[in-house]
């Protein structure tokens, strides 16, 4: 029995050590661009109103579709000037039993700024992010977009900043694309105190 436990332990160590990502087995850092739909829209053939919404609002990107016996639901990311607006979304749900629609519209209520300077490229933003949360060498994604950076209850155009969202798994750093300030960060570790 002791020999069997040792074999299991060694096998688990081999599996866990082989899963660790490093830059040597990573295909490199990836910059996410574009607003193409992330899911197959053919599921929505039975709900033409959802397809119509996607045509009517070309700044929506279908991110997920749920279709079961009770409802069909479409969740979308929101883009402005071909850049994602982090935290903004649009959702449509149709009840199959009752036929009614629900709409959850979390898009900005103000016009976003057009003239935001981008002085920080994704490579510099990654450097800043690695320093901010002391990331180990790993595969990272970076995405340029708008982020609401204001604590006031009144939404203003000036509340939106152009930022880089640098992610690795559940860890992320939001870096201002004009001056390199770090707005928020999470190292991916949950601790209980």
What DSSP string describes 144-193?
EEEEE---SSS--GGGEEEEEEEEETTEEEEEETTT--EEEEE-S-----
Q: How many residues does the chain have?
A: 193
- Residues 81, 118: one domain? no
pLDDT score recorded for residue 137: 60
pLDDT in tens, 111-127: 999 888 899 999 999 99
Other C-beta atoms within 10 Å of 62: how many?
22
Assess contact for 182 and 126: CB atoms under 8 A.
no
In a domain, 80, yes or no: yes
Whether residue 96 is predicted with pLDDT greater than 80 in this model: the reply is yes
Looking at residue 24, its pLDDT comes to 41
Task: Judge whether 57 lies within some domain.
Answer: yes
Q: Is the pLDDT of residue 5 over 80?
A: no
Determine, yes or no, domain membership for 58.
Answer: yes
Same domain, 87 and 153: no
- Among candidate residues 51, 71, 106, the one where a domain is terminated: 106
- Mode of pairing for the β-strands spanning 141-148 and 182-186: unpaired
* pLDDT value for 136: 63
Shared domain for 155 and 116, answered yes or no, is yes
51-77 residue pLDDT tens? 999 999 999 999 999 999 999 999 999
Which pair of structure tokens corresponds to residue 10? Answer: 């060694």
Domain boundary among 106, 122, 142: 106
Question: How many domains does the chain divide into?
Answer: 2
With H, G, I as helix, E, B as strand and everything else as coil, classify residue 104. strand
Cα–Cα distance, 66 to 89 (Å, whole number): 16
pLDDT(168) > 90: no
Task: Please tell me whether residues 79 and 96 are part of one structural domain.
Answer: yes
Closest of 179, 182, 174, 107 to residue 145, by C-alpha: 174
- Which one has a higher pLDDT value, 1 or 145? 145
Same-domain status, 116 and 85: no
Q: How confident is the model at residue 7 (pLDDT cuts 50, 70, 90)?
A: very low
- Give domain status of residue 177, yes or no: yes
Give me the CATH number covering residue 65.
Answer: 3.10.450
Among candidate residues 51, 77, 106, the one where a domain is terminated: 106
Q: What is the pLDDT of residue 107?
A: 94
Indicate if the pLDDT at residue 18 is higher than 60.
Answer: no
Range of the domain at 180: 112-186
């Amino acid at each position: 029995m002791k020999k069997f436990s040792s074999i299991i332990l060694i096998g688990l160590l081999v599996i866990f050590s082989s899963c660790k990502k490093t830059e040597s087995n990573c295909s490199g850092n990836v910059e996410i661009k574009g607003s193409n739909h992330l899911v197959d829209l053919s599921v929505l053939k039975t709900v033409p109103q959802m397809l119509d919404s996607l045509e009517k609002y070309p700044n929506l990107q279908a991110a997920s579709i749920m279709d079961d016996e009770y409802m069909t639901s479409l969740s979308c990311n929101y883009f402005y000037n071909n850049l994602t607006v982090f935290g903004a979304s649009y959702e449509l749900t149709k009840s199959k039993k009752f036929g009614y629609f629900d709409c959850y519209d979390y898009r900005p209520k103000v016009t976003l700024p057009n003239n935001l300077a981008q002085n920080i490229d994704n490579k510099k933003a990654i450097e800043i992010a690695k320093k901010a949360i002391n990331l180990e060498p790993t595969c990272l994604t970076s995405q340029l977009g708008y982020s609401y950076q204001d604590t006031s209850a009144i939404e203003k155009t000036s509340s939106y900043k152009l930022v880089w969202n640098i992610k690795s798994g559940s860890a992320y750093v939001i870096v201002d694309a004009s001056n390199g300030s770090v707005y928020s960060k999470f190292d991916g570790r949950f601790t209980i105190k």
